A and B are shown apart, each in its own frame.
Chain A
Amino acid sequence: MKNRQFPRARLDCLSREFDSELLVYDPQRNVGHCLNSTAAAAWKLCDGNNSLSQITRTLSRQLAARVDESVVLLALDRLADAHLLVAEEVRVERPSRRLAIRRIGMAAAIALPLVTSIVAPTPAQAASCVHNNQPCSSNAMCCSGVCVPIVGRCLGG
């Protein structure tokens, strides 16, 4: 319960700022995330000491716009889904995303918090490979990772 009230960002993630966005890499899960300005600002305020209302107030000041608490809740929701917050020990009732977005409304002066994620590639995925039924002599050559030795051709991919 405490974690939800005083959310804490994971310290083992690596991050770099790109303008107002934040590129975050999670080395435990091998996932990369791009946090837009609102999500990035909220994530940076999750130090385990700031309460929800404190984050809301500070965000309003930083973004020079009135930020509703539901925006912060939505941001925390998305950050938690991306595993960028220290996991909650006790699951708490979250407002539904749809409800939160409806409450924020069209008149929101700031961008809705957004977290875009990708799975980091393995070295084999980040290199050219051979497709189905094309000649091969090793599994590593095939996109599918399966080279049938008898025929010397890739299977699938």
Chain B
Amino acid sequence: MMQGDIQTTRAGLQAVRRKIQIAENGHRLLKLKRDVLILELITIAQRIRRSEQDLGGLLRGARETLSIAKMMEGSLGIVIVSISVEESPEIRAGSRNVMGMQLPVFTANGIRKELSDRGYGLIGTSSVIDEAAEAYEGLTETIVRHAELLAAARILSAEIQRLKRRVNALEFRVIPDLYATRDAIVLRRDEMEREEHSRIFWVKRRKGSFR
């Protein structure tokens, strides 16, 4: 389909050809980017699946250990230990670059602690507290990693959707339109050339009859 503001001149044709070239290059690059991001998303989805399985196991284990700790130390004992924690873990959000996309990277500091850094005294507590603390430290670490994967997957999925729309728009709308425009210009220019040729023919012929 011919675009309204396109001039049927040589310059107009060259401009359309340039646009076609740019659109096709863009289409190829966007498709490449989309494919890479899809591959990355598939990798992340596999990791999420594994991480979910790990989380399930760790959560069950941590709950069981906490139940045992509550049985042995009482919930009051657990409260005492929980208020003993003096340093909270710190989670820093950074990013990594995948095909120009900024995917989140969460760096957790101070989740896994040594026994002497947990804040409760060694002598007044039992080993079940260590076991519960260790189980929940492991669970928290996995939750942070899982959150990073989920956030990356969400961003990637949104970007892939956007890219898909753009690739489809280029593939099924913009590039066919540009080809149609180019063809229309070529046709029009051929037409104009034929008209010009005919006009010149008739002008020459009329000049010849005067002679």
Do A and B assemble together?
A: no
Hey, which bits of chain A sit against chain B, CB under 8 A? none
